[in-house]
Structure 1
């Protein structure tokens, strides 16, 4: 199907949502993590456990006996509760990454407690509309020490609807910020996949929303997921790449196939560079990523660098392109913000 489809269904027995664009899987959200009930985006009250001298970080006790790690302990009181948000996922046996910069998400906006100011999405370029939205945000905030980020969907949204949701989000942020006494406790669960789809995929408006027990099969989502659970990535022509996740890093190998032309390496590498952000996001892979590109002249590295930068610019996840190593490998790091798809499939298979 051409256009944008939002597909709501279940995967591995878990609530899931998929975004299909022109028949290709563009994004996938799946609930649950077999290692922890605390999903990225959850807000908790935690207590300090032990400071890491010389590293600047601190381990915190979370609800249900979980442990979290905060890289920057500045302002964290020893032995006292602190409000934190789950910032990503962790490998088995490792502490969950945390942040003290809280974010309360909604469809029209985001509330940032302790970070005052009203900001409007840069994709809204109409100056009159930007000014009107900023004034609306300041009005709803009043004298509170919160900040607001107005999302792109507010460009054409009804002001009364925006105001009502922002007021609810701000009230929720007020109640969370008041929870400063007591032991570890979950204060706000992360949005479910269906809720997140409603918040994040509203702009541009989808051409169709598909639901039902067979929605994933009917719309081609299951077929796309099956491909993601294999290491091979098919590229144009006969080229392909293989993605293999280890505990230390994610390794990617690019092959030209039976193409023996002089530009075969560069063509395969460019194809992988354009596809890599989508593959990492859909597979739920992050951390250190090392790419063994197909052989090509060194002079072509500048071209490939430009393609990589353009591809990851709109990827939506924190990514750092580190560059080339002495062995000719390419390194990058990507935030671990989703549960690996293979982990969910494995847990479902063992259930």
Structure 2
């Protein structure tokens, strides 16, 4: 099927969303387990505990546990503070927190701690940028909050954009007015269905019927796309294996023994890696053991990685080559990783 299709269903009782483009699975989102921590985007009023010398931050008491807040200068023990979960936490670690609150929707992001009105750089038409600025300035008049208009607002109806901005402003005002008191959840983070609506634009087809994953073959596609060993174009393979410390990626040439086999497999892996990480929900430190290649070809691999991650929605930093010849990435933990329960449901 040509075009894009979004499927909203459940796996193992948890909300999940899948995006297919021209019949190929391109993105996947799933809620964390019910007994897991709150998702990124959730906002709390927490209570500061004592500073941790040498760690550059403090623990913050939350309603159901603790979080870790970096850059905590000026905070004292017992002080209430508004914090937002910035990324998924690793098992056994405190929830990562930030004081830079973002109230994010499909078209607009309200930023209480960063005043100013900004329009996405992806919107290049000057007339459109001016119209959006005028619209936003009217709705944000009298507010000390900042606003970012997202790229999706370029072709959206003005009334929808205006509604989105007004809703995010009201939400930000309500939350920031509750800065004092005991530890409390003030705003839950988006579930998988809400996140899909927010981030996937306007798909040509949206399926919401229960069981649509199985009926349209999405479960089979997901099981195949997230298998431990992934086939690459040209005959090579790529293994993606998360560990407690980092995500290990191993690239092999397969049966191809030609002189150009290593470079060919590595370029294919560089192009396939963003999708592989998206579908598995993986982030953090990523170490890639590329197939053997000459040092003169490293620049070509770097350029392929840069091009592949440029259009990826998840923030990823290319750290570079290690002395052992591996390549390292640092990727934000924005997604819920596929766990054993989900993988069992896909079998």
**SS of alignment partner, residue 341 of structure 1:** coil
CA deviations on 1:287-326 (whole Å, 9 max, x unpaired) are: 1111110011111111101101111122222212111111
**SS of alignment partner, residue 114 of structure 2:** coil
Contact 2:48–2:80, Cα closer than 8 Å, also in 1: yes
Q: How many residues align?
A: 346
* Runs of at least 5 residues in structure 1 that lack an aligned partner in the other structure: none
Alignment-derived partner of residue 274 in structure 1? 271
Cα deviation, residue 39, structure 1: 0.7
Contact 2:226–2:276, Cα closer than 8 Å, also in 1: no
Structure 2 distance, partners of 1:293, 1:124, is 36
CA deviations on 1:257-285 (whole Å, 9 max, x unpaired) are: 11011110001001111111111121111
Point out 4+ residue stretches in structure 1 off by more than 6 angstroms: 346-349
Structure 1 position 305 matched with structure 2 position 299 = no
Structure 1 position 16 matched with structure 2 position 16 = yes
Cα deviation, residue 344, structure 1: 4.8
Alignment-derived partner of residue 150 in structure 2? 151
What TM-score does the superposition give when structure 1 sets the normalisation length?
Answer: 0.94
Structure 2 distance, partners of 1:344, 1:74, is 40
Alignment-derived partner of residue 240 in structure 1? 237
CA deviations on 1:12-53 (whole Å, 9 max, x unpaired) are: 221111111111111111112355241111111111123121
Alignment-derived partner of residue 127 in structure 1? 126
Contact 2:250–2:289, Cα closer than 8 Å, also in 1: yes
Alignment-derived partner of residue 102 in structure 1? 101
**SS of alignment partner, residue 116 of structure 1:** coil
Alignment-derived partner of residue 174 in structure 1? 173
Cα deviation, residue 61, structure 1: 0.9
Contact 1:6–1:206, Cα closer than 8 Å, also in 2: yes
**SS of alignment partner, residue 137 of structure 2:** helix
Structure 2 distance, partners of 1:35, 1:91, is 14
Alignment-derived partner of residue 4 in structure 2? 4
Structure 1 distance, partners of 2:152, 2:278, is 23
Alignment-derived partner of residue 194 in structure 1? 193
Cα deviation, residue 244, structure 1: 1.2
Contact 1:283–1:342, Cα closer than 8 Å, also in 2: no
Contact 1:13–1:348, Cα closer than 8 Å, also in 2: no
Structure 1 distance, partners of 2:145, 2:271, is 38
* Equivalent residue in structure 1 for 2:288, among 263, 284, 291: 291
Give the alignment's Cα RMSD to 1 decimal.
1.7
Contact 1:317–1:334, Cα closer than 8 Å, also in 2: yes
Structure 2 distance, partners of 1:302, 1:122, is 28
Structure 2 distance, partners of 1:33, 1:200, is 22
Alignment-derived partner of residue 33 in structure 1? 33
Contact 2:114–2:146, Cα closer than 8 Å, also in 1: yes
**Residues 96 and 343 of structure 1, relative CA distance in 2, 3 Å threshold:** farther
* Equivalent residue in structure 1 for 2:215, among 213, 218, 227: 218
Structure 2 distance, partners of 1:122, 1:239, is 37
Structure 1 distance, partners of 2:47, 2:343, is 32
Cα deviation, residue 67, structure 1: 1.2
Alignment-derived partner of residue 254 in structure 1? 251
What TM-score does the superposition give when structure 2 sets the normalisation length?
Answer: 0.95
Structure 2 distance, partners of 1:77, 1:196, is 35
Structure 2 distance, partners of 1:67, 1:218, is 41
Contact 1:116–1:146, Cα closer than 8 Å, also in 2: yes
Structure 1 position 332 matched with structure 2 position 326 = no
Structure 2 distance, partners of 1:279, 1:348, is 19
* Equivalent residue in structure 2 for 1:206, among 200, 203, 207: 203
